[in-house]
């Protein structure tokens, strides 16, 4: 059987874990391998901008998604989809008028 002190420690540790998880954003950790020269350049740039490496990589991934017309935000994805559907409808209407 657990003593009262052990149960109290276990409860507080479990509470801290759930609070810590809820405080953080929905983060995913992945380990990637990049060339040393690329890492050194990114690390230097991060120091020059007074940012840490996760901030710089987050910015880079957002820019990459933007470059290819993608977004990580669900609401923005819906807006982009609606705009594309509107353009297709407008194109069909103009093609129908020409005929």
Q: Could you tell me the residue range of the domain that residue 77 belongs to?
A: 73-99
CA 61 to CA 73: how far, in whole Å? 13
pLDDT digits (tens, 9 = 90+) for 32-61: 899 999 999 999 999 999 999 999 998 999
The pLDDT assigned to 5 comes to 53
Q: 37 and 61, same structural domain?
A: yes
CA angle 21, 57, 59 (to 5 degrees): 95
Percent of the chain with pLDDT over 70: 70
Q: DSSP class of residue 3?
A: -
CA 60 to CA 38: how far, in whole Å? 13
Q: 61 and 83, same structural domain?
A: no
The pLDDT assigned to 89 comes to 78
Any domain includes 15? no
The number of distinct structural domains making up the chain is: 2
Q: Is the pTM of this model over 0.75?
A: no
pLDDT interval class at 6 (50, 70, 90): low
């Amino acid at each position: 059987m657990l003593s009262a002190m052990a149960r109290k420690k276990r409860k507080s540790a479990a509470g801290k874990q759930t609070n810590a998880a809820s405080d953080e954003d929905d983060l995913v950790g992945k380990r990637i391998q990049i060339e040393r020269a690329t890492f050194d350049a990114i690390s230097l740039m991060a120091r020059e901008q007074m940012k840490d490496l996760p901030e710089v990589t987050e910015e880079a991934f957002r820019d990459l998604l933007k470059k290819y017309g993608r977004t990580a935000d669900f609401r923005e994805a819906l807006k982009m989809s609606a705009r594309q559907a509107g353009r297709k409808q407008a194109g069909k209407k103009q093609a129908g008028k020409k005929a």
